[in-house]
Chains A and B, each alone.
Chain A
C-alpha cells in the first residue's frame, strides 16, 4: 500500500509541473493555431537565466521567478513580432512555415546557450533541494510541493486573467474566431504577441521551478518540448483546463509505469497513452468535460 501511495504522490507532484509546461504551449496553440516547437527550449533559456541569477547574484530560484518570467515574456513577444508574424505575409509553398520557424528558433536558442554556457551540466543546489516531509512512510518532496502550489496559483491567475480582464477576453475571442475578433475591433496581431509572451512566461515559470530539483544542459529543450506536446494532445489542443489534466495524467502514467511495469518503459507508457487518446478521444480530455 505504501508503494502505491508513494507512486501516486510522486506522479501527482511531477504532474503539477508538467501541467505548467503544457499550459503555455496549449495557450499558444489555441490562439495562433500553431504548435510551438521551441517551447522546451524557451524553458531551457529561462533555466539558464535562473541559474545565472543564482550563481552571480545569489538570488533564490523561487524569487527569480519574478525577474525571469518578465524577461522571457519579452523574449516570447519579440519572437512572435519579429520572427513568426512576418511569415504570415510571405508566400510560401508550405503553410506550416511558422511551425518550422519555431523548430529553427529552438535550435538557435540551444546553440546560443551552448555558446555562452558550454555543454556542461549545471545545477543549483539550494538548502531545500532535497527537503522532504514524511507522512507515515510516504515521502513528500518539499520543492515539488511548492512547485505544485505555485503551478495551481499561476493557473488560477491565468483563468482570472482570461475570464475577467479585457485583454483576456480579447485573447479568448481571437482563439475562437480570429476574423470575427478582428472585425469587433480587436488588434489580433497584438494579441498574438502577447499570447506568445504569456505562453513563454509560463514555460519560464516551469523551468524556474524545475531548477532546484533537476539539472540543466543546452539539449534539454527537445525532450521537454516533446513532453509538452504530449500533454497538449492529451488535454485536447488549445484547452488550458485540459492541459492540467494532461499534465497530471502524464505524471501519474510515468510514475505508475516506472513502479509497476518497468523504469525503462517510462517514456513509452506516456507515448502509448498519447496514441490511445489520439485514436479514441481525438479531442483529448476536453471531450470528457464537454460531453
Chain B
C-alpha cells in the first residue's frame, strides 16, 4: 500500500514537473518531427499546388503553436512534383530515404498520386492523399500485375465493336480480375494508402441530384482533360449519364495546354446538347468558357466537374463567361463543419485571396496527420500506419474516417455539393439543405454575356 503511495507521489511530482517544463510555442526541446509533402509547385497545376501549400503551412503553424506533436514541432518538407509522375515518384523516394520523414502527404494530380502510391506500397510507407482522386488509387487490386492487365483489357473491350470478340475480351478480363483478387492478399500487408477526399466517381453525386430534379437533360456532351483525373472522371460521368437516360452526343478528351478550343466547340454547337459537362484543370476551364462565349454556345447548362471550376483564378480569367456556370465541389466555407469559416477568413486575411476546396483538403489533411502522429506509438512507419487507420475525427473538411468498401480500402466517405458562380461569388446551390443561395436556372446565356 505504502509503496504504491510513494509511486503515486513520485509520478504526481513528475507529472507536475512535466506540466511545468512543458515548452511554450516555438521552444521545443525535441528534434522536429518531419513530414513530407509532395505538391505541384511548378508546371500547369501550380495554381492548385500553391493554394494547398499555403494551407498546409497555415495549419502546421497553428499546430506547432499549440505544442506540436509528442513535444516536438512538425517540420514540413515540401517537394515539387512539377505535375510529372516520374518527378513525383523521385520526390517520395527522396522523402522516405534521405529525409526520413514520418509520413508523406499531398498528391495533387491523379497521375502523379498513382505513381507515388506505387512507391509507398512497395515500401509499406504511410501516404495520406488529399486530392488525387482517380478511383483506382485506393483500390489495392490496381497495384497487382493482373489488376493492371485487367484495366487494359477493359479499355480494349470498351473500344471493341464486334460482339463475339467483345465477349471473348470480357471473359479474359474476368479471369484476370479473379486472379488479381488472389494477388491482393499479398499486397494487403504492405498496403499503406489513405485518402481524405472522395474518389472522382463520387464528385458528381451532388450534381446528379440537381440534374435529376431541376434540369432533366436529354442530351449531354462530355469534354475532359486527358490525363488520369479527367479520363477517370469522364468515364464515371458517362456511366452515370447512361444510367440517368441522358444521351451522350460527344465525349472527347483534350490536352490541358490546348491553345484553341473553337474547333471542338463548333462541333458541340452543331450537336446542340442540353448540358456540357467539363472535367478540366485551371486555365483550360477558363479558356473553354471564353471560347464557348465567343462561339455563342447555348446549352441549358454548363457543368464543371470540380478542380479548375471552383478556383478564384477561374472567375478572374473567364470573367463574365464564368457567370452561372455550376460545378461539383467537395467543400464550401458556409458548410457547418467546425472551423470551416474561420479557416476561410484566416486564409483570406493572410494571403489576400480566396481559398476553396483544394485548400480545405490540405488544411484538414495537416490536422489528420498531426492527430495520427500524436496517437502513434512511435514514429516508425508501421505505427503511423496503424494510427492513421484508426483516425476518427472532425476537420474543417468534414468528418474523417478511413473505411473499406467495395474494392476501395482506407477511403474517407463524404458528401459532395453543387456550387454556382452567382455575381462573382461561388454559392452552394445543392443539396437544398446546405444551399447558401437559390440556384439560377434556366439561364439566358446571351444576356449573361452582354
Contacts and interface: CB of A to CB of B under 8 A. Distances in A.
Contacts of A130: 290, 293-294, 319, 321
A259 B260 CA distance: 11
A6 B50 contact: no
Contact of B316 (A125, A139, A255): A125
A151 to B, nearest CB: 15
A155 B18 CA distance: 79
Contacts of B319: 125, 130
Interface residues of A, number: 37
A11 B259 CA distance: 11
A215 B255 contact: no
Interface string A128-151: 011010100001010000000000
Secondary structure at the A interface, as helix, strand, loop or mixed, is helix
Contacts of B260: 10, 14, 254-255, 258
A141 B294 contact: yes
A66 B316 CA distance: 27
Interface in A91-141: 114, 118-121, 123, 125, 129-130, 132, 134, 139, 141
Given A123-B317, A217-B44, A259-B266, A267 B255 contact: yes
Given A214-B259, A217-B46, A264-B252, A259 B267 contact: yes
A129 B264 CA distance: 20
B266 A3 contact: yes
A189 interface: no
Contacts of A121: 44, 46-47, 282-283, 313
A262 B44 contact: no
A130 B287 CA distance: 10
A120 B50 contact: yes
B210 interface: no
B148 interface: no
Given A141-B294, A258-B263, A119 B42 contact: yes
Contact of B41 (A119, A255, A262): A119
A10 B262 contact: yes
A266 interface: yes
A60 interface: no
Contacts of A3: 266-267, 270
B257 A223 contact: yes
Is chain B's binding surface mostly helix, strand, loop or mixed? helix
Contact of A219 (B44, B47, B313): B44
A263 B222 CA distance: 12
Given A141-B294, A263-B253, A219 B283 contact: no
B47 A263 contact: no
A242 interface: no
Interface in B302-330: 313, 316-317, 319, 321
Interface centre among B42, B44, B313 (most CB of A within 10 A): B42
A256 interface: yes
B42 A258 contact: no
A6 B293 CA distance: 15
B296 interface: yes
A226 B264 CA distance: 23
A166 interface: no
B317 A215 contact: yes
A123 B294 CA distance: 18
B252 A263 contact: yes
Contacts of A255: 260, 262-263
Contacts of A215: 283, 286-287, 317
B290 to A, nearest CB: 5
The CB with the most chain A CB atoms within 10 A, among B46, B263, B267, B313, is that of B263
A121 B319 CA distance: 16
Interface in A217-248: 217-220, 223
8 contacts: A6-B262, A7-B266, A123-B283, A123-B317, A125-B319, A262-B253, A263-B223, A263-B255
Given A139-B262, A266-B255, 13 more contacts: A6-B262, A6-B266, A10-B266, A119-B50, A125-B317, A130-B293, A134-B296, A141-B294, A217-B46, A259-B264, A262-B253, A264-B253, A266-B254
Interface of B: 41-44, 46-47, 49-50, 223, 226, 252-255, 257-260, 262-264, 266-267, 270, 282-283, 286-287, 290, 293-296, 313, 316-317, 319, 321
